[in-house]
Structure formats: structure tokens, C-alpha cells
Amino acid sequence: MSTLQKIALVIVIIGALNWGLVGLFNFNLVSFLFDGYSTIISRIIYAIVGVAGIISIASLATSDRYERRIAAR
């Protein structure tokens, strides 16, 4: 797992915890932390979490191919 994939995984976990807070307690941590600044900052954070999710999906697909290649040896 590359450094980029590890960083993306951490960001995805943080995003998932935020969604868990929204679902369980109706508390949005991103809005709470950046409400006084701008909605643009919140949108940038959500976009970063989305890109990290895409990277995580791609790394999941590549790790499956890698494991199959090793198992075939």
C-alpha cells in the first residue's frame, strides 16, 4: 500500500466518522469546525473526502488483482 493510498484511507475513515455523527446525532463535524469561515472550505473538504474515496476504491481493485496474481504462483 502506497503512502497516497494510506492517506486516502485515513481521510475516508474520517469522512465515515463524520457521516456516522450526522446519522446518529445529527451533528456535522465539518460544519461545526468551519462554519464561521466559509461554505467553500466545507465544499473543498467534502471534495477531498470524495477523491480519497475514489482512490480507496481504485486501491481496493488493484489489491485484489495483486492478491490473485500471488495466489496463482
pLDDT digit string (tens) for 12-60?
Answer: 999 999 999 999 999 999 888 887 677 888 889 999 999 999 999 988 8
Q: Which residue has the cell 457521516?
A: 19
Global pTM?
Answer: 0.76
Cα 61 to chain center, whole Å? 16
DSSP annotation of 26 reads S
* Beta carbons of 31 and 42 less than 8 angstroms apart: yes
Higher pLDDT, 57 or 66: 57
